[in-house]
Structure formats: C-alpha cells, structure tokens
Structure 1
Amino acid sequence: MTDASSAQRMFVDIADQLRSDIAQGVYADGERLPGEDDLAANFGVASRTINRAVDLLKNDGHAIGRRGSGVYAQTPLAIKHKPFPDPAEPKSRAGAWAAVEPRAFDIDLIGVSSEQPPAGVTSVLGLGAKQGALTWKARFSVQGRPVMLTRTFVRAELVPATCAAEDYASPRRLALLLADLGLSPAEGVVETRGRAPSGEECDLLEIPVGRFVLDSRVTVWDAQKRALAVEQTVMDTAAFVVAHSINVGEAR
C-alpha cells in the first residue's frame, strides 16, 4: 500500500475503532464524544482526518451531531424489515443483527393529498404527465427518533370520494387500505434499492445528507392486471435490517 493510500485509509481505520468503542460501551449511547482536537491528539493525526472519520460515523448512524454542542455516540437501531413476512418462520430464531426487543412505532400523520408521484410510480400506475394520485403519507418514529416514511399512491378515480377526507387518513397496512377502498389486489412485487435521500427526506428523517436511505416499493395489481397502488417506504439505513428466511436444506 502506498503512503497516499495508507493516509486515505487512516480515517476509515479510526472510524472502525470508534465504532468498536461505541459497541463495547466505551462511549455510551448519547454520550458526547471527545472533541476533534482531543481525538486528533489521541490518534496522532490531523484534525481533518478526524473530521472525515466522524462524518463516516454520522452517515452510518453511530454518531449524531448537535449544533453548538458537539458529536454524540448513537447505538444504531436494528429494526427488522420483512417485505414478505413468512408466517411459518420460527419466532425464536433471530439473526446476527436482530433487534433485542420489539420496536413500537409512533406515527406522525403527515396527511392525505393529491400529488404527482415519482416518475417510476407515474408510469406503473398509467398516469398522464400532469395526473396526480391520491397519496397517504406518514412518518414512523422509534423512541423519539424518526426512522421511516411511507407514501401510498392510488389512482384518484379508484378512490371513493368519501375516503379523501382528512379523518380517513390514519396510516394502515397497504392490504387493509385497499380493502377499505373496495379494491382487491391479486398479486404484487417488492423492489428495494439504496439511494441518496432528497432534502425533504433528510429533514423528515433528521439524517445527514451523506447517509443513504432504503427505498422499498410495493406494487400491486388486480386480477385484470390493472395497477391499483404503489406503496413507497423510505427507511433510514442506520435503523433497519432487511431480513428474510431461507431454507438451508434446499441448497443441498
């Protein structure tokens, strides 16, 4: 490894050490980390190197900056996200990143509106360039920390007029919402990818701009192959683990 590449790796190695310290309780959840100058002296590096290391911790959820106060250790959540829950999965089984206890969501209702969906959603729903969809929006938090946003897009003409009122806006699972609308989904597909967040998503999830989000979209069709809805779930990557069961015996 060249001197230049070794220097490039230095901030990564420092971030690894600080993550390990947080995991082992050297810095407790919510405890203020030493200042930049102190860390630079401890590791024998320039302040700029520490700044880059701390940015890595912020971006993967191991630290949070508070304006005018400093940087604080943060234990990442491990909320299990299962797009296709398997009712046959043994409840006692847990993976290496599984949450120790169930996570109760608090829901901030953002509202119901008619809006232009993202380009991919507009296409799959068969909407025109200026056609909107009725959209249910909500934010989910755990222990006071925003972790997930949802938007459910349904073609406006499929929604009874009585359902567009604000008092009908309580967030619910997609299948229940469609049932309430009198729609009968027959099949669906889940697609998940990582991407950079929008400015609005950074604000709503209270995350730094350098942290990616998981964008998971469920598209459902009826028996006549008519697209009924798309549910978009945007998750803080520092809070979620995408999990599914496997049958190891089938690999033999």
Structure 2
Amino acid sequence: MAGGTSTPGATVVSRALSVLYAFDNTHRRLTVTEVARRADLPVPTTHRLLRELVAGDALVRGDDGRYAVGRRLWDIGQLAPERTELRNAASPFLSDIHAATRATVHLAVRDGFEVLYLDRLSGRASVPVVSRTGSRLPLHATGVGKVLLAHAPEEVRECVLAGRLRRLTAHTVTHAGLLRQQLDGVRRDGYATTTDEMTLGACSIAVPVTRPAPADNTPAADPDVVAALGIVVPTLKRARTRLLTALQVAAQGIARNLQ
C-alpha cells in the first residue's frame, strides 16, 4: 500500500493525496486498479478522483489507459523554498562544469532513503545514465548517493546498512561492511566515486555541498551537507583529479551563493 485510507471519515483531500502518493519512482505508470490497490480505495472512487486529477493537469492518462504524474505537479514541487534556493544557487556552476567537461552533471539531495535528483545536465559522451530530473535512485549505488549517505544522520546510515542493499549490476556494493568502509572514506577524503555500480559503462565522482558556517565562525562538529554535486563519465582513470577539482570549486561557489 502507498499509505492511503478508505475509512468512512476520510476527506476528499486525503483520498486525492492517497491517489497521488500511489505513484513513486518504481510505480510511474499505473492502471485504475493498481492505483486503487496502492491507495487503498474503492475502484469507483479511484476512477472519479483520477478523472478529476487529469482534468486539473495533476495527472495524465496515456493511450494505454495508464496514468502518470503530470508536469504540473513537478512544477509545483519546485516551488519548495529550500530546493528552489538550492537549484538557483547551483545553476550557474552546473552550467560551468558541463561546459568544461561535456559530461553529465548532477545536483542531488537525500529524500528519505533515496537520492532525489534536483537538476541534471546531460553530457555528450555516450555514457548510460538512468537518472532524470525529479527521479530517485538508491543511495548506496551512486556517487552523489554515497556522499549524501556518508553525511546523513547516523540512524539513516545504520538503517541502510542493516537493510537489503539492492544489486543493480555485478559491481554494486552490497556488502554492508565494505559500504561502511567506503562511507568512512567519503567523510575522510571529501568525495565519493563509483565504477559500474548503477549502470555498466558509467563511473561517477561526487562531492558534498555544505551550508556556509555561522557568521561567528563557531566550528561545527559535522559539516551541514545540503546536497551533493556529481559528474558521470565513462572512466575516471585519467581525469579524476581534474574532475574532482572542478566539483570542489563549484561546490564552494554554490555554498557562497547560499549565504
């Protein structure tokens, strides 16, 4: 279930939200029956709500009869103040990195136990990249995800490490002990890398974006990591240092723009 409710006291708003929450990164296109099951609502009620949500451009209905989230919802989501500020602060730096490297560049944040991609500029090189703006991917299998997981609250890290680490390719790190060592290295070295872990033929390198220190320069126990900035390329063998430097400079610039 997606957290819906069919109780008699449920309001129209709560039922509509249950329908919307039925969609997620692994359930992008759903039939009426599938939405009803995930929203825990009767099929007739679900059908009526879907019809009204399509009329309001919140959802779209494909030729195959399946429903999907409409662009209007994504546009509304981008109005969230914190993420709007972050995207605006990062935009010129993402463009600079993209222009200099012609690689795919990502700006991402942690959303629960997943990576949420706030922005993406596609590279010219034929590197298999599955991320899209607005999509979510596992924390443990991506460069930006490892950065965000390394700097997440301890309870989040322990929950991920204690859970089932899904294998996306033969190279995905699914051993909790090895992943823990990698996360320790990310906090120590200030960056994360992956090689063929999310998709074969794609390597990534990523760094944290931190919120500026307090004006009184009071030292913080841990950096306030608000996002991760990453690049996806075919290989890191010859360009690791250059790409890392570009990311670190951009992350510092974004942090200044957040002041």
Same fold by TM-score greater than 0.5: no
Q: Write 1 or 2 for the structure with the bigger share of strand.
A: 1
Q: Which has the higher contact order (CA 8 A, sep 6+)?
A: 1
Q: TM-score range by the shorter chain?
A: under 0.3
TM-score if structure 1 supplies the norm length?
A: 0.25
